[in-house]
Amino acid sequence: MNIGKQFKEGLITQNPVLVQMLGMCSTMAITTTLFNGIGMGLSVLAILTCSNIVIAALRKIIPQKIRIAAFIVVIAGFVTMVDLLIQAFVPALVNSLGVFIPLIVVNCIILGRAEAFASKNTVLASAVDGIMQGFGYTVVLIIICVIREFLGSGTFGGGILNGGLGIRIIPEGYPALLLVLPFGGFLTLGCLIALVQHFMSRSASKEKKNEEVAE
């Protein structure tokens, strides 16, 4: 287990959204305020980590032929628990995210990590993987939320600061309202993906040149 490598993969090289391009539906739909991004990100992080731990612990017991069904049952259990906790303690988040919390059950990020990592590694390594992948997902959601909220609504901290209204930075009438619509989500995400791919390409080229010089 290499924590540094897993952290780098979760945040950059294997980021669920920017590199693997998973969970696009919720990413496009809810990233309009900081409140949504933090709430959705932490929910996925908790569910992903807990699911990875349980699946890794049961990986030698679950029959190969029904593993996907078993993974979904485990994930659905944790999604239900998180959903009920949010309804009890943060009802405003339920109203804001709506159906996208229950839909975490079929989020490709959760099932993908269960199949690709948790079912093949130890409990500790799977827990770290869940935390790192969930952290990378949360960071990307927050970045997209901040950009779309700032440029599209002219505010910061919507749902959290200033009684939930957010702190107004750009006067009303000036923000590009298009960015809070689905088109704005695709545009923002596309720019972030292009930026990450650019830096990853530059890093790969630099490493290749260093290897050639060393030889």
Question: What is the tens place of the pLDDT at every residue in 160-208?
Answer: 888 878 899 988 888 888 888 888 989 999 999 999 999 888 888 887 7
pLDDT of residue 211 exceeding 80, the answer is no
Q: What is the pTM of this model?
A: 0.90
Concatenated DSSP letters of 122-185: -HHHHHHHHHHHHHHHHHHHHHHHHHHHHHHHSEESTTTSGGGT-EE-SPTT-S-GGGGSHHHH
pLDDT for 99:
86
- In the predicted model, what is the mean pLDDT of residues 30-54? 94
Report how many domains make up the chain. Answer: 1
pLDDT for 66:
93
- In the predicted model, what is the mean pLDDT of residues 30-48? 93
Which of 37-46, 151-160, 204-213 ranks highest by mean pLDDT? 37-46
pLDDT for 149:
93
pLDDT for 215:
66
> Residue 123 to residues 9, 23, 51, 55, 65: CA-CA distances in angstroms?
18, 24, 10, 8, 21
Encode pLDDT of 73-96 as tens digits.
999 999 999 999 999 999 999 888
Residue found under tokens 């440029």? 151
Enclosing domain of residue 31:
3-214
